[in-house]
Amino acid sequence: MNTVKGYNKIQTSNKIFGLEFFDLLVLLVIYMVIFVLSNNLILNLAIVTASYLGLRFYKRGKAPHWSGSVLRFLMHPREYPLKRERKEDQFLK
Protein backbone atom coordinates (compact mmCIF):
# COMPACT_ATOMS: atom_id res chain seq x y z
CA MET A 1 0.00 0.00 0.00
CA ASN A 2 1.52 3.35 -1.05
CA THR A 3 0.93 6.31 1.22
CA VAL A 4 2.14 9.88 1.23
CA LYS A 5 3.60 11.21 4.44
CA GLY A 6 1.99 14.51 5.45
CA TYR A 7 3.45 17.21 7.62
CA ASN A 8 0.56 18.81 9.45
CA LYS A 9 2.74 21.27 11.39
CA ILE A 10 3.59 23.13 8.18
CA GLN A 11 -0.03 24.19 7.75
CA THR A 12 -0.55 25.28 11.36
CA SER A 13 0.88 28.21 13.25
CA ASN A 14 3.36 28.02 16.11
CA LYS A 15 1.62 28.48 19.43
CA ILE A 16 2.89 29.46 22.86
CA PHE A 17 0.44 28.93 25.73
CA GLY A 18 -2.24 28.35 23.08
CA LEU A 19 -1.74 31.76 21.43
CA GLU A 20 0.14 32.80 18.33
CA PHE A 21 3.11 35.17 18.48
CA PHE A 22 1.03 38.18 17.38
CA ASP A 23 -1.53 37.49 20.12
CA LEU A 24 1.25 37.28 22.69
CA LEU A 25 2.45 40.71 21.55
CA VAL A 26 -1.06 42.06 22.14
CA LEU A 27 -1.03 40.46 25.59
CA LEU A 28 2.40 41.99 26.29
CA VAL A 29 1.13 45.47 25.35
CA ILE A 30 -1.86 45.00 27.68
CA TYR A 31 0.55 43.86 30.42
CA MET A 32 2.78 46.92 30.00
CA VAL A 33 -0.11 49.40 29.91
CA ILE A 34 -1.80 47.92 32.98
CA PHE A 35 1.38 47.82 35.05
CA VAL A 36 2.23 51.42 34.16
CA LEU A 37 -1.22 52.71 35.09
CA SER A 38 -1.86 50.77 38.30
CA ASN A 39 0.11 49.73 41.38
CA ASN A 40 -2.27 46.99 42.56
CA LEU A 41 -0.55 43.70 41.67
CA ILE A 42 -3.57 41.44 42.21
CA LEU A 43 -5.84 43.60 40.06
CA ASN A 44 -3.16 43.82 37.35
CA LEU A 45 -2.71 40.04 37.24
CA ALA A 46 -6.48 39.56 37.17
CA ILE A 47 -6.81 41.92 34.18
CA VAL A 48 -3.93 40.24 32.32
CA THR A 49 -5.40 36.78 33.04
CA ALA A 50 -8.83 37.91 31.85
CA SER A 51 -7.23 39.31 28.69
CA TYR A 52 -5.43 36.01 28.10
CA LEU A 53 -8.61 34.00 28.54
CA GLY A 54 -10.48 36.45 26.28
CA LEU A 55 -7.87 36.03 23.54
CA ARG A 56 -8.01 32.24 23.89
CA PHE A 57 -11.82 32.34 23.61
CA TYR A 58 -11.63 34.70 20.61
CA LYS A 59 -9.10 32.48 18.80
CA ARG A 60 -11.12 29.27 19.23
CA GLY A 61 -12.12 27.91 15.84
CA LYS A 62 -10.33 30.64 13.88
CA ALA A 63 -7.85 29.98 11.09
CA PRO A 64 -4.11 30.33 11.77
CA HIS A 65 -2.87 33.94 11.69
CA TRP A 66 -6.45 35.27 11.94
CA SER A 67 -5.63 38.25 14.16
CA GLY A 68 -2.72 39.40 12.02
CA SER A 69 -4.79 39.11 8.86
CA VAL A 70 -7.63 41.16 10.33
CA LEU A 71 -5.24 43.85 11.54
CA ARG A 72 -3.47 44.02 8.16
CA PHE A 73 -6.85 44.38 6.46
CA LEU A 74 -7.94 47.19 8.76
CA MET A 75 -4.61 49.05 8.63
CA HIS A 76 -4.01 48.68 4.88
CA PRO A 77 -4.38 52.06 3.16
CA ARG A 78 -7.22 52.18 0.73
CA GLU A 79 -5.79 54.06 -2.22
CA TYR A 80 -7.31 53.96 -5.65
CA PRO A 81 -5.57 55.17 -8.80
CA LEU A 82 -6.84 58.43 -10.25
CA LYS A 83 -6.50 57.28 -13.85
CA ARG A 84 -6.79 53.86 -15.40
CA GLU A 85 -3.75 51.83 -16.34
CA ARG A 86 -4.75 50.53 -19.77
CA LYS A 87 -6.11 52.46 -22.71
CA GLU A 88 -8.89 49.84 -23.19
CA ASP A 89 -10.17 50.42 -19.67
CA GLN A 90 -10.94 54.08 -20.25
CA PHE A 91 -14.53 54.95 -21.00
CA LEU A 92 -15.18 56.96 -24.15
CA LYS A 93 -17.30 60.06 -23.83
What are the backbone angles phi and psi of residue 79, rounded to the nearest 5°?
-115, 135
Answer whether residue 35 is part of any domain: yes
List CB contacts of 24: < 8 A, sequence separation 6 or more: 16, 17
Better pLDDT: 34 or 3:
34
Residue 4 forms part of a structural domain: no
Higher pLDDT among residues 82 and 18, named by residue: 18
pTM (2 d.p.): 0.60
More confidently predicted of 85 and 46: 46
The answer to whether position 78 is within a domain reads no
Could you tell me which residue, 45 or 70, shows the higher pLDDT?
45
Can you give the residue range of the structural domain that contains 67? 15-72
